[in-house]
Structure 1
Amino acid sequence: MRIELSEDQALVLSDWMDRLLHRPEFAALVDDRAVWSPLFTISGVLETSLPTAFDPAYGERLEAARERLLDQLGDVGK
């Protein structure tokens, strides 16, 4: 299996997963324990693949990536 993400998508998804994966509220949504395996794999691949995660300007890069992705989405999800 291969999934391709843009750098913006990967950065935003990695940040989101890092913030939510260990929250009890998120764990309550996972109704199949086996799902944790792919979630942790995806999270690990993103963490190790993104050099921007350790960049001092991480917050600025993340916000810029979010804005570009939101622009591309248009009205979807509003």
Structure 2
Amino acid sequence: MDDDAITIRLTRDQAFVLSDWFYQAMFESEDLAGIVRDRAVWSPIYAISGTLDKALSEIFMPDYGARLEAAKERLRVNLYGAADEPVTPSESG
């Protein structure tokens, strides 16, 4: 059963944003370490993060920040609608 692989499909924007989030949570803060107390959970976290890093050329580009913000905005618009639409209280925090 351990050899049965599961495939997760993400858009490139989703993968890019998730890769950045993993990097921030794993290496730039202690947030993820505070949330993930079971060491077994780190195995899939590292597997997903490593797979994303290998697949994304964007993480090595000099305009990384601009590309990341553009991807985030596209995902927000796709999920919540046009950028100029009002945000409901449940979406704001």
TM over 0.5: yes
Instruction: Find the counterpart in structure 1 of residue 38 from structure 2.
Output: 32
1:2 is aligned to 2:7: yes
1:19 is aligned to 2:24: yes
Q: Which of 1 and 2 has greater Rg?
A: 2
Gaps of 5+ in 2: 1-5, 81-86
Percent identity between the two aligned chains: 47
Separation in structure 1 between the aligned mates of residue 47 and residue 62 of structure 2, nearest angstrom: 25
Instruction: Find the counterpart in structure 2 of residue 42 from structure 1.
Output: 48
RMSD (CA atoms): 1.6
Shift of 1:34: 0.4
Gaps of 5+ in 1: none
Query: What is the one-letter code of the residue matched to 1:19?
Result: Q
The TM-score with structure 2 as length reference comes to 0.76
Structure 1 segments, 4+ long, off by >4 Å, are none
Query: What is the one-letter code of the residue matched to 1:61?
Result: R
Query: What is the one-letter code of the residue matched to 1:60?
Result: A
Which protein has the bigger helix share? 1
The TM-score with structure 1 as length reference comes to 0.90
Question: Secondary structure of the residue that 1:56 maps to in structure 2?
Answer: coil
What is the aligned length? 78
Q: Which has the higher contact order (CA 8 A, sep 6+)?
A: 1
Separation in structure 1 between the aligned mates of residue 31 and residue 17 of structure 2, nearest angstrom: 20
